[in-house]
Amino acid sequence: MSHKNTSNHDTLAQKLDAIRAELLPFAEDMCSLGSQLKQQFKSEQFIDVHDDTTAIATALANLRNQVKGLNLELIQGASDQAHETHISQSRLRHDLRTPLNAVKGYSEMLLESLGQHGESVSHSLLLDLLSKTNTVLETISTSVVFPELESDEVVKTHEHSEMSSVAVLGKILVVDDDKSNLTVLSRLLEQQGHEVKCANSGPEALLAIRSGDFDLVLLDMLMPGMNGYEVLSIIKNDSDIAHLPVIVISALDEMEGVINCIEAGADDYLPKPFNPTLLQARIGTGIERKRLRDESTALMERMETELQEARRAQLNLVPHDFPSVSNAQPIAVHAHVQPAREVGGDFYDFFYVGENHLWFLVADVSDKGVAAGMFMARASSLVRLIPMQYFKQFGRMLMPHEVLNDINNELCQFNPEMAFITLLSGRIHIQTGDVLIANAGHSAALEYSANVPVHSLETWRGHPLGIKPDSEYRSMQTTLHPNHGLFLYTDGVTDALSNEEEYFSDDRLFESLQRLKKHSPALVVQTVKEALRVFTRDAEQFDDITLLAIQRTQHTAITVKEVLLPNTLEACRVARQELIGLQAAHGFSDTVCEDMCLCADEIISNNANFGYSDQREHENLLRLSVDSTQVVLEFIDDGSFFDPQSAPIIQPQHDLATAKAGGLGIKFVRHLTDELHYKRVDGKNHTVLVKHLKHEA
Amino acid sequence: MVQEMGLQELAFKRATVLQVKGNINSNNAPQFSVRMNSLIESGCPHLIVDLTSLSFMTSAGFRALLIAGRSATEAQCAFSLCGLNERVRQLFELGGFLDLFPIHANQQDALIEATK
């Protein structure tokens, strides 16, 4: 290049002359030693070492040629920039050492092979060659002036500490552009029991890595085209293969490059020429490390899957269907639970005991995570089963504090970890609005409505459940007026932290409830959830969050009429007359009346035609009610189970004359009603048909 | 006002028209069925059921129509319907009955078809 500095140029030329002068006698001498060696073992007896002696002779011839041909052409890249000079010098040293390393490797293997031929074979030539090889290698290190980057001490310490490593076997990819290096390394590794594949260049190595499952890569630093550092960078930046351990191969004086490689993600380095013990130790460590990494990744994945399954199972323990409001059930409920971790300790529940009592509760298990989740599962089934079983077995509606007494005594058993639950549980009479609430160490419920400020319903507060047997609980009585609601929550709501480490607090909770203009439970839950989301933004959720809202809906001029019906088709006529009477009194449209008549006829005739296998007379109940918004018809019969929501539809192509229950009429009912509810209670079908009244503006 | 069922016959040369008023339900469907079958058995060549004044019909009424249609085929009596108002047509459609019978817009169309 034109900007080359002439004096620098001359200095380099002189240096090369000196090196040539120093090395050439050695090279010539060793070359002849190589020929003699080949001669010594040329007989058939030594056929197994012919390849090695040939390789040694070839490597020595290469060495001699390289030393002879030492001139400036070799170091074209040299320039006045120190960095580039450094690189071309290290390239030169690399080129000189490559045949020497090959000679050393082959000679060591040859020594080993000759050992099998018995003691009569003379090793003197070979030992002479090895000692000269070492001398020349040392000469290269001292003759070419380089700043020392790292002392030999460090390497020696490594050697000692890793001597005792136990052999760990694996599949190894060796990457080197020099064929003799590849052969020496792969033979050494194969002797140690590893499975070895070779690659001549960076691109070839990457191809092999992407298509094979290697345990480790041995990567030469100096290669034409893509060098070792570039290959390493590509590996470590590709998430599919970044986990693969890479050991960089380099001469000791390439330490700066080694450090770059370690920083770029290489796991270790190996100095040339190779020491078999060091090689085994470093490779063993690398493979072991990959095994551990693979195992921990697999373990993490398995635990993740199990946690997700546990989360699903746990979320299935609480109801997610929120019943729609009707005159028969003028109470709306909505709830939400959001565990902080995969599995949580919070839960809510609501369920009917008998026709008129809705039970509801919110609970918080001490601690979070899997252990809390299991305690939660134990408690959640008790809290449901106890009031239901009492009612079913003894016809008695328990008071909430009685349920708490029973659960507490049960949870106090087999609880060495002293896990506990705070719980607020109540029941509401859905027609009268009478409420009973009992509290086991939980936050009080809040009452909200359009008319009165949000306030908490103070209750006598007992101990959390699971701590003290026979602990005392009390039920507090109140009345929930129409359009008033109750809000229950766990402390994960008020203790939620913002990015600024502020608590959401009671004040913010009261405020977000107070601001509401409409109070349907779904909206209340949604609003508080949204307020929390805005408040916490991306702050980590520390505690489980649970919300539950209940509202009594307003009754407007309800007319309720109950009629007893026989289990014959005569019942259809009675139902029709009642509907016509209701229409006369309330003035809803002919369409509504006709649709209800049709639907009532289908449901009731179904019961009369298909509901009974005995010949006895049965008495069923029809409850009709109407307010300004809807007409509701509730039919309660003791016929066989029939759920109009899931009954099969029969196509008219089938013979309708012999059709069973279900069939065509049910299709009409599903289509013509605005709401259709069904439940089977105590051996009776409860079928509720609702038709909304649409008012003209 | 929900009206009770009313049935009225109109006899023409080639056909008999049965006009239905009010609603057909579980209680009166048997009566509707008996009336249609007696007309078919009396040997009328074409029975037209005119539903113009029908307010609604339950599945019992549809069952009666299906049975009558089958008897008519056996008795070689042509059987058709006419005058489906919007609400009744909706029920026919829901139940999949629109292609089970010849259906005409009104009594006149049905009679023209019957005299062909």
**A579, A594, A663 member nearest B56 (Cβ):** A594
* Cα A100 to Cα A132: distance, rounded to the nearest angstrom: 10
Using a CB–CB cutoff of 8 Å, tell me whether B96 touches chain A: yes
Same domain, yes or no: A42 and A94? yes
**Mean pLDDT score of chain A:** 84
pLDDT at A495 over 80: yes
Same domain, yes or no: A473 and A608? no
Same domain, yes or no: A611 and A572? yes
Using a CB–CB cutoff of 8 Å, tell me whether A580 touches chain B: yes
Mean pLDDT, range A413-432, rounded to an integer: 91
Residue at a domain's end among A143, A167, A191: A143
Residues of the domain holding B22: 6-110
Is B68 part of any domain? yes
Is B98 part of any domain? yes
- Whether B55 and A593 lie within 8 Å, measured CB to CB: no
Using a CB–CB cutoff of 8 Å, tell me whether A585 touches chain B: no
Burial class (CB in 10 A: 0-12, 13-18, 19+), A543: buried
Is B1 part of any domain? no
- Residue A655, pLDDT score: 56
pLDDT band at A2 (very low <50, low <70, confident <90, very high): very low
Closest-CA residue to A645 (of A668, A670, A671, A681): A670
Q: Which residues of B touch A663 (CB under 8 A)?
A: 59
Same domain, yes or no: A34 and A132? yes
- Residue A669, pLDDT score: 93
Burial A559-569 (b: 16+ CB within 10 A, else e): eeeeeebebbb
pLDDT at A3 over 50: no
Higher-confidence residue: B85 or A192?
B85
Is A302 part of any domain? no
* Helix, strand or coil, per DSSP, at residue A394: helix
Same domain, yes or no: A206 and A120? no
Lowest mean pLDDT among A75-89, A196-210, A380-394, A462-476: A75-89
Mean pLDDT, range A450-461, rounded to an integer: 89
pLDDT digits (tens, 9 = 90+) for A572-595: 999 999 999 988 888 888 999 999
Is A299 part of any domain? no
Other Cβ atoms less than 10 A from the Cβ of A162: the count is 16
pLDDT at A444 over 90: yes
Same domain, yes or no: A518 and A661? no
Same domain, yes or no: A597 and A544? no
Nearest 5 degrees, angle CA A418-CA A420-CA A425? 160
pLDDT at A366 over 50: yes
**B25, B59, B87 member nearest A664 (Cβ):** B59
- Residue A166, pLDDT score: 47
Closest-CA residue to A449 (of A482, A416, A478): A482
Q: Which residues of A touch B91 (CB under 8 A)?
A: 668
Is A451 part of any domain? yes
Is A131 part of any domain? yes
**Is the distance from CB of A664 to CB of A606 less than 8 angstroms?**
no
By CA distance, what is A599's nearest residue in B? B58
In A177-299, which ranges are E strands?
Answer: 195-199, 216-220, 246-251, 268-272
* Helix, strand or coil, per DSSP, at residue B81: strand
**A579, A651, A665 member nearest B58 (Cβ):** A665
Same domain, yes or no: A565 and A653? yes
Residue linked to tokens 């390289």: A66
pLDDT at A162 over 50: no
- Count of the separate structural domains present in chain B: 1
DSSP per residue, A573-629: HHHHHHHHHHHHHH---HHHHHHHHHHHHHHHHHHHHHS-SS-S--EEEEEEEE-SS
pLDDT band at A260 (very low <50, low <70, confident <90, very high): confident
pLDDT at A157 over 80: no
Probe site for chain A from B4, B54, B58 (most A CB atoms < 10 A): B58
Probe site for chain B from A565, A594, A598 (most B CB atoms < 10 A): A598
**Residue A580 maps to which CATH number?**
3.30.565.10
pLDDT at A236 over 80: yes
Is B74 part of any domain? yes
Is A305 part of any domain? no
Same domain, yes or no: A362 and A506? yes
Residues 6+ apart with CB under 8 A from A140: A23, A93, A96, A97, A100
pLDDT at A348 over 50: yes
pLDDT at A205 over 50: yes
The list of chain B residues with pLDDT below 70 reads: none
pLDDT at A290 over 60: yes
* Alpha carbon of residue A442 to chain centroid: 32
pLDDT digits (tens, 9 = 90+) for A305-341: 888 888 888 888 899 888 877 767 889 999 999 888 8
**Residue A191 maps to which CATH number?**
3.40.50.2300
* Cα A180 to Cα A51: distance, rounded to the nearest angstrom: 12
Is B116 part of any domain? no
pLDDT band at A94 (very low <50, low <70, confident <90, very high): confident
Is B40 part of any domain? yes
Using a CB–CB cutoff of 8 Å, tell me whether A663 touches chain B: yes
Lowest mean pLDDT among A149-153, A171-175, A299-303, A575-579: A149-153
pLDDT at A76 over 60: no
Please report, for residues A525, A526, A560, A593, the alpha-carbon distance to residue A495 in angstroms, rounded to integers and kept in the order given: 17, 18, 46, 53
Q: What secondary structure letter does DSSP report for A518? A: -
Mean pLDDT, range A229-256, rounded to an integer: 87
- Whether A656 and B94 lie within 8 Å, measured CB to CB: no
pLDDT band at A203 (very low <50, low <70, confident <90, very high): very high
Q: Which residues of B touch A659 (CB under 8 A)?
A: 63
Residue at a domain's end among A119, A143, A167: A143
Same domain, yes or no: A511 and A617? no
- Count of the separate structural domains present in chain A: 4
- Residue B90, pLDDT score: 92
Residue at a domain's end among A552, A577, A596: A552
Please report, for residues A534, A542, B85, B94, the alpha-carbon distance to residue A496 in angstroms, rounded to integers and kept in the order given: 11, 7, 62, 53
Is A306 part of any domain? no
Burial class (CB in 10 A: 0-12, 13-18, 19+), A263: exposed
Is B37 part of any domain? yes
Same domain, yes or no: A202 and A105? no
- Whether A652 and B91 lie within 8 Å, measured CB to CB: no
Is B67 part of any domain? yes
- Whether A656 and B87 lie within 8 Å, measured CB to CB: no
Residues 6+ apart with CB under 8 A from A688: A326, A328, A632, A633, A634, A635, A675, A676, A677, A678
pLDDT at A32 over 60: yes
Is A300 part of any domain? no
* Cα A593 to Cα A585: distance, rounded to the nearest angstrom: 12
Higher-confidence residue: A238 or A560?
A238
Residues of the domain holding A227: 152-292
pLDDT digits (tens, 9 = 90+) for A333-344: 999 998 888 888
Phi-psi label, residue A348: left if phi above 0, alpha if psi -120 to 50, beta otherwise: beta
**A576, A597, A602 member nearest B59 (Cβ):** A602
pLDDT at A504 over 90: yes
Q: Which residues of B touch A569 (CB under 8 A)?
A: 26-27
Same domain, yes or no: A347 and A491? yes
pLDDT at A159 over 60: no
- Residue A662, pLDDT score: 54
ipTM of the complex: 0.91
* Helix, strand or coil, per DSSP, at residue A200: coil
Is A85 part of any domain? yes
- Residue A161, pLDDT score: 37
**Is the distance from CB of B85 to CB of B52 less than 8 angstroms?**
yes
